[in-house]
A and B are shown apart, each in its own frame.
Chain A
Amino acid sequence: MKHHLSIAALALVCLQAGAEGPKDELYQALGGKAGITRLNADFVPRLFNDARIKHIFKDANPNNLVEQLSEQICAASGGPCRYEGGAMKAVHADLGITHAHFNALVEDLQAAMDAAGIPFATQNRLLALLAPMHRDIVTR
């Protein structure tokens, strides 16, 4: 029993160590600013066409959304960008977004990342940076 637990602990330590790397490694893995913009140019139309959540985007401008998301993902992934859009909490306060809506958006992003050929492990490293935003975005 002890043996198995220490193997599990060791595996975790190795996984944590494996996540180290240059600061912009994830940004580069996403194809830099051009790759990230291409990703969002595919991702945003998926949001506007998703019956589960398109009502949330009815007042949004798709081109602005591509630009803001690209800045945000560029900055989050260690790239040379600064996100200058609105604060997450204020922007989403009145939209009545549920966990199910949030996860629908995650699924659309996963589909866009699949289409862009981004490996699953890399996808999860990006999602790990974005997922905590649920605390500011989900209001009911």
Chain B
Amino acid sequence: MCLPSRPRRAIASLLLALPLLCAAQGKLLLTGGVSTIEGAAGGGLTPWAVTGSYASAGEVGGSAYLTRVSSQDYSLNSFGVLVSLHDRAEFSLARQDFSTGPAGTALGLPGLHLKQTMAGAKLRVAGEAVLDSDRLMPQLALGLQAKRLDAGGLEATLKSLGAKTHGLDLYVSATKLLLAQSTLVNLTLRASKANQTGLLGFGGTASASLSLCPEVSVAYLISRHLALGAEYRVKPDKLNPSALGAALKEDDWWDLFVAWAPNKQVSITAAYVDLGSIVPGIVPRRQTGAYLSAQLAF
């Protein structure tokens, strides 16, 4: 999109002025995590118990992100914002746009995009992930993500398979920075019936109940500015079997990531992701590829 020069200049000066306007800088570098594809602060695929932005107690902060994941046959764009209050609560809003590629074409819906809107809230309930380095007690947070899917021409098919177009994920996260070892560990337990995080609806004829799925992240801090890590996310599999047999079988996701924060305003995360096969009945091959995310904090 090409904006006329005056608004463009106004946006540029706003972005430049943000760090001056808002002084939510009380946390240490990278201790607010990065932005997940669902908008919450954490790793790339998994929310952590930390709150986003650099707002510490007594401060209000925010962040905005843009993420692109592309694999052999599909691509996902995600963007969103979050507000963090006093390093205690976090509220996020995010959008996902998934390009269905050859799967859409095979279903007679060429160019089909699945669009998902997600509102999230996270409350830190106990612990101090970073500074309580003499205790094993992690920081704990409770979170929820309310999701609504716009499946376009696929909606009738999903409904016939018993999948709803809205759903709620509930999770508890435990994050611990093992400071002496420069290593961060996170475990999240998510109760969810989202198919492919909700891009194929919620629940199915096989099961309409919530599944409890663990998600694990480990990150090693190479410097204050650089973290290297891995994540594994177990997913529910509510459309397997369906009226289409195992055609919609869902795999777990994992990634290897590097996150770089040159300062408290910007972070860039790059990852190799393995999404397993997505709709294997049509596109059997495994989907692997690149994940690239940019985040601005203020």
Contacts and interface: CB of A to CB of B under 8 A. Distances in A.
Kindly list the 9 A-B residue pairs having the minimum CB-CB distance in the complex, ordered from nearest: A100-B26, A128-B180, A128-B179, A128-B133, A99-B56, A131-B131, A132-B134, A15-B181, A134-B131
Given A103-B27, A106-B28, A120-B224, A98 B216 contact: no
Contacts of B180: 19, 124-125, 128-129
B25 A131 contact: no
Contacts of A131: 130-133, 179
A121 B180 CA distance: 7
A5 B231 CA distance: 10
B232 A132 contact: no
- Mostly, the A contact residues are helix
A100 B57 CA distance: 7
Nearest to B252: A1
Interface in B105-164: 128, 130-135
Given A15-B181, A19-B181, A110 B218 contact: no
> Secondary structure at chain B's binding surface: helix, strand, loop or mixed?
loop
Contacts of A16: 181
Contacts of B134: 128, 132
Interface residues on A, range: 20 to 34
B232 A1 contact: yes
Interface in B55-82: 56-59
B57 A98 contact: yes
A19 to B, nearest CB: 6
A107 B26 CA distance: 10
Interface string A97-140: 01110111011001000000000110011011101101100001
B218 to A, nearest CB: 5
A4 B87 CA distance: 31
B222 interface: yes
Interface string A5-35: 1001001100110110000000000000000
Given A8-B218, A132-B134, A99 B26 contact: yes
Interface residues of B, number: 34
A115 B156 CA distance: 63
Contacts of A135: 132
A12 B180 CA distance: 12
A99 B178 CA distance: 19
Interface of A: 1, 4-5, 8, 11-12, 15-16, 18-19, 98-100, 102-104, 106-107, 110, 120-121, 124-125, 127-129, 131-132, 134-135, 140
A15 B132 CA distance: 18
B260 interface: no
Contacts of B185: 8, 12
A15 B183 contact: yes
Nearest to B232: A4
A93 to B, nearest CB: 18
B209 interface: no
B25 A120 contact: no
Nearest to A106: B28
Contacts of B216: 4-5, 8
B39 to A, nearest CB: 25
B182 A124 contact: yes
Interface string B31-43: 0000000000000
B234 interface: yes
A107 B28 contact: yes
B234 A121 contact: no
A15 B178 contact: yes
B5 interface: no
A140 B26 CA distance: 13
Contacts of A100: 25-27, 56-59
B247 interface: no
Nearest to A98: B58
Nearest to B234: A1
